[in-house]
């Protein structure tokens, strides 16, 4: 009779041990907000944009692919060419390989949900619209301050613009957010700057580099304080989005913003 309480205690503790994993999974569910940040979903979201851009460059460039490639893409290909790597599809393959390596090293689940991809599309559009609103406020501020703004000159065809803007969304985010932002953060941490300050300084510095990069190279824009300040603001916005919502949604938001402003709004103005 004296052993019964011990047996009951053993059965109770056993039930507690077996129910612990279930309780843990209930506390930390793998839902949309987590999966949208994982490398596999970011890669699935990214691949159609890569295909459209690379195929568009091949079909529309007429032998002069540099005319359609954005600055970040052009520079990264130039760096690869400087070490003898000139294959046209090497850069997108490296991006895909890096995402797969991230997936493997992080031991993320190999499960893709279509609803997550659809949600990422919706989020990208919402963030792009929000950035458009910020752009309108920026435009209004410069108008009130009577600061000159440069008018757009020599617009390419809509198809060329679509390809170029998608490429900017992909490769500018690969270069400035996926590569330079973690590097900048690591450099600031080497100097024993606290993590939050290091993240803030990395965001600010890479956003300035992102803005300046649009005025360097053969296809550079003419410098204006109006465009420079907005690009710096956009760089901070995309960097914050990268930290909070992940790489895939940052790429989607960048590409969606460029397409909405550079194709739809411009076409309406011309029409």
Could you give the CA distance from residue 189 to residue 18 in angstroms, rounded to a whole number?
41
pLDDT in tens, the chain (271 residues): 444 444 544 454 444 444 444 443 344 346 899 999 999 999 999 999 999 999 988 888 776 676 678 778 888 988 898 888 888 889 999 999 999 999 999 999 999 999 999 999 999 999 999 999 998 888 888 776 655 555 444 566 778 888 888 988 999 999 999 999 999 999 999 998 999 999 999 999 999 999 998 887 666 778 888 889 999 999 999 999 999 999 999 999 999 999 998 776 665 544 4
Could you give the CA distance from residue 107 to residue 109 in angstroms, rounded to a whole number?
7
Could you give the CA distance from residue 237 to residue 133 in angstroms, rounded to a whole number?
13
Find how far residue 24's CA is from the centre of its chain. Answer: 31
pLDDT confidence of residue 224: 85
Global pTM value: 0.82
Could you give the CA distance from residue 21 to residue 237 in angstroms, rounded to a whole number?
38
Q: Give the tens place of pLDDT for each residue, 150-166.
A: 544 456 677 888 888 89
> Nearest-CA neighbor of 256 among 173, 154, 143, 152?
173
């Amino acid at each position: 009779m004296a052993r019964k309480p011990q047996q009951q205690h053993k059965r109770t503790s056993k039930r507690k041990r077996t129910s612990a994993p279930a309780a843990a999974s209930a506390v930390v569910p793998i839902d949309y907000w987590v999966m949208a940040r994982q490398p596999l979903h970011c890669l699935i979201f990214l691949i159609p944009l890569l295909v459209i851009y690379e195929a568009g460059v091949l079909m529309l460039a007429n032998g002069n692919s540099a005319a359609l490639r954005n600055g970040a893409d052009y520079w990264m290909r130039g760096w690869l060419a400087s070490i003898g790597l000139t294959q046209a599809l090497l850069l997108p393959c490296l991006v895909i390989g890096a995402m797969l390596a991230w997936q493997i090293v992080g031991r993320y689940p190999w499960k893709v949900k279509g609803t997550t991809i659809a949600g990422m599309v919706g989020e990208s559009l919402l963030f792009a619209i929000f950035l458009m609103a910020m752009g309108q406020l920026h435009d209004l501020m410069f108008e009130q301050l009577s600061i000159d703004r440069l008018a757009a000159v020599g617009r390419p065809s809509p198809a060329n613009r679509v390809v170029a803007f998608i490429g900017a969304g992909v490769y500018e985010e690969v270069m400035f957010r996926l590569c330079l932002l973690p590097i900048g953060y690591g450099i600031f941490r080497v100097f024993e700057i606290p993590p939050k300050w290091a993240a803030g300084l990395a965001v600010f510095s890479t956003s300035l580099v992102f803005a300046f990069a649009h005025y360097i190279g053969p296809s550079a824009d003419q410098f204006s304080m109006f465009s420079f300040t907005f690009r710096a603001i956009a760089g901070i916005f995309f960097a914050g989005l990268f930290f909070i919502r992940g790489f895939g949604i940052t790429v989607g938001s960048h590409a969606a913003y460029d397409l909405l402003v550079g194709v739809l709004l411009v076409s309406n103005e011309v029409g």
